[in-house]
Amino acid sequence: MTPSALRAFLALLLFTVMFQSEAARKGNNRTLNSAKPALLQLSDYLLTHYRKGVRPVQDWRRTTNVAIDVMVYAILSVDEKNQVLTTYIWYRQHWIDEFLRWNPEDFDNITQMSLPTDSIWVPDILINEFVDVGKSPDIPYVYVRYHGEVQNLKPIQVVTACSLDIYNFPFDVQNCSLTFTSWLHNIRDINLSLWRQPELVKFDKSVFMNQGEWELLYVLSQFREFSVEGSDSYAEMKFYVRPLPWSGM
Ligand SMILES: *[C@@H]1O[C@H](CO)[C@@H](O)[C@H](O)[C@H]1NC(C)=O
Ligand SMILES: *[C@@H]1O[C@H](CO)[C@@H](O)[C@H](O)[C@H]1NC(C)=O
Ligand SMILES: *[C@@H]1O[C@H](CO)[C@@H](O)[C@H](O)[C@H]1NC(C)=O
Ligand SMILES: *[C@@H]1O[C@H](CO)[C@@H](O)[C@H](O)[C@H]1NC(C)=O
């Protein structure tokens, strides 16, 4: 080898070593496999070792806070004989899932993606006054944001018991509550809060279909912590729905 060929060889060797160490340094940086769609890679990354049976917190002492919201879409019937109110609501809830987090830069800048509802943990929140499971469509997906916030939206036909004032029926404003609570989990495991400010919930008729016999006066919300006979404490969020007979204006 001539000295100049040797120099060229050494330069090439040095370049290769530098390039490789640079590649190794970037090793922690997940590089996207361009043959596979980014959404698919992200879905695999999040769900491959996911265990949906376990409340998604790193530290079991941490409470999962579920923020909930109700928008009344329609008041379908106010049945004073059976003391039942049927409404159609847009229900939504969000919480943090500490196991559904990613760095957007590693996944083609994806900041939010939808995942099948039945492949992840969801809170067991029910409405206490339910007397009948109405016809509610099944919503197969939730939205997950990169910092772990899961948004779960669903329309629900709510058939609930309500003690309706029958003396002046149907001329009185009625007062029916929808009480949301986790059926099993105590307040240290699942707590509830409002998604929006109470004033925004109260007078929001943006989705209300004003075409039946009933008008919506307002929706009052109230958080309460309750316990059953010296046992554990539970969180509940009440929404008081105040229907009044449509006067026709
Ligand atoms: C990961 O790689 C991307 C694209 O090459 C780059 O923009 C980003 O800064 C890298 N992140 C880190 C932590 O090196
Ligand atoms: C991701 O977003 C950053 C900041 O907006 C931008 O600089 C970068 O080019 C984007 N990367 C891709 C792959 O779109
Ligand atoms: C509706 O009923 C609940 C429970 O009976 C009561 O606490 C609440 O004050 C009532 N709301 C109004 C505006 O009367
Ligand atoms: C539960 O959440 C409410 C707010 O909705 C808060 O005032 C209360 O302190 C929380 N309770 C516990 C035990 O975390």
The pTM (predicted TM-score) of the whole model is 0.81
- Distance in Å, CA 176 to ligand 1 centroid: 54
Q: Identify which of 28, 105, 107 to mutate to test ligand 1's pocket (most ligand atoms within 8 A of the CB).
A: 105
| Greatest pairwise CA separation for the chain in angstroms | 110
- Are 203 and 224 in contact by the 8 Å Cβ rule? The answer is no
pLDDT digits (tens, 9 = 90+) for 131-171: 887 788 889 999 999 999 999 999 999 999 988 877 776 67
- One-letter amino acid of 169: F
pLDDT at 207 over 90: no
Ligand 3, atom 2, residue with closest C-alpha? 175
SS3 (DSSP) at 24: helix
Token duo for residue 117:
């509802």
Residue 187 has what DSSP assignment?
T
Confidence of residue 100 (pLDDT cuts 50, 70, 90): very high
Inter-CA distances, 68 with 46, 164, 167, 198, Å: 25, 26, 34, 11
pLDDT at 240 over 50: yes
| H-run or E-run covering 90 | strand 84-96
